Structure 1
Amino acid sequence: MGVWRTIRSLWPKLRGNSSIRVGNGTKTRFWKDIWIGQASLQVAFPDLMIFSRNPEATIFESWSNQGWNLNFRRHLYDWERDRLITLLCEVENFPGTAVQSDTLRWRHQGMAFSL
């Protein structure tokens, strides 16, 4: 039990020094994982995530060849639409999904591990 407690205590340091490289998007959560930028979209756009129909959605579920497919529980007000535009600008350079699995990368050593 002490080993697992130690491993759990190191998790914040591990997450702080790693990032996700999206492959097929099946293991990376759109809102909750850090896959673009320095923080999760949940942290950057909490006002939009609370209206999401599926806050646990993966990138695979949120992306299609036509672009992002974000579903909200209600219509967004004008100021919320402005925030949505900001969010879409944040993710506009996303190249799309690939065949390979998502990977967790160490930021400093360049090592990669499958999720």
Structure 2
Amino acid sequence: MCGVREGLGEGVARWFEDNTRRIMGDGRDILFWHDIWVGEIPLKIKFPRLYELVEDKECSVADARRVIGPDRGWESLWRRRLLAWEEESVRECSVLLHNIVLQENVHDAWRWILDPIQSYTVRGAYRFLTTSGDALDMTLVDDVWQKHIPLKVSLFVWRLLRNRIPTKDNLERRRVILPIDTACISGCGEVETAKHLFLYCVIFGSL
């Protein structure tokens, strides 16, 4: 389940994480740095430098609030004294957390965004995974498995038709690279997707 939650294996990258949100209660079951509980992305992605420097990367929201507190500083969280530009990230994070109030008598909960009323079902998740992305003509996929075509070519085309090759947009979805690094390697300025790279790129498309 941890692997699925990180978007590993077959299916749509980060499908589980992108479609769930943590609903704040007492903060004991929500991971401060890893879960999406404030804003649209985890704090470890929004503040990567702070995450790199923090001592306890697995702390809950409740643990972090006890350490920080309304009258305490952030100094005890870090492995070393912060530089001036790192302190600026701390101030930005503090503003983000300013209005967060823990509810001591309420447990943390999950919200399934695709169906917030009925909540998560296997049927709903299966429907999402099998209908996400562009429709694929299965006759094209079947045609690549021919004995006269070298196996490595068939395998590559099979992956290409399923958008499973490591183009930069796929690497960004898997968190291998940052969103700012998704530009096409040809230098044309467009986002590097499979369609762009093989069909529309002014450099590689013509090739």
Q: Work out whether the TM-score is over 0.5.
A: yes
Q: Which runs of 4+ in 1 moved over 4 A?
A: 8-11
Letter of the 2:99 counterpart? N
In structure 1, C-alpha distance between the alignment counterparts of 2:96 and 2:14, rounded to whole Å:
24
Letter of the 1:104 counterpart? W
CA contact (8 A) 1:23 1:101 kept: yes
Identity of aligned residues (%): 21
Rg: which structure is higher? 2
TM-score (norm 1): 0.78
2:64 pairs, out of 62, 65, 81, with 62
Letter of the 2:102 counterpart? G
In structure 2, C-alpha distance between the alignment counterparts of 1:76 and 1:96, rounded to whole Å:
27
Q: Which residue of 2 aligns with 1:14?
A: 16
Structure 2 counterpart SS, 1:88: helix
Letter of the 2:39 counterpart? G
Aligned Cα RMSD in Å?
Answer: 2.5
Greater length-normalized contact order (CA 8 Å, ≥ 6 residues apart): 1
Q: In proportion to residue count, which structure has more helix? A: 2
Q: Which residue of 2 aligns with 1:31?
A: 33
Question: Does 1:79 pair with 2:69?
Answer: no
Structure 2 residue ranges without an equivalent (≥5): 121-207
TM-score (norm 2): 0.46
Structure 1 residue ranges without an equivalent (≥5): none
Residue-by-residue CA offset, 1:60-102 (whole Å, 9 max, x unaligned): 1111394376411111111110111011111112112432211
Q: In proportion to residue count, which structure has more strand? A: 1
Q: Which residue of 1 aligns with 2:98?
A: 92
Change in CA separation of 1:97 and 1:77 when aligned onto 2, cut-off 3 Å: farther
Give the paired residue count: 107
Offset at 1:38?
0.7
Q: Which residue of 2 aligns with 1:52?
A: 54
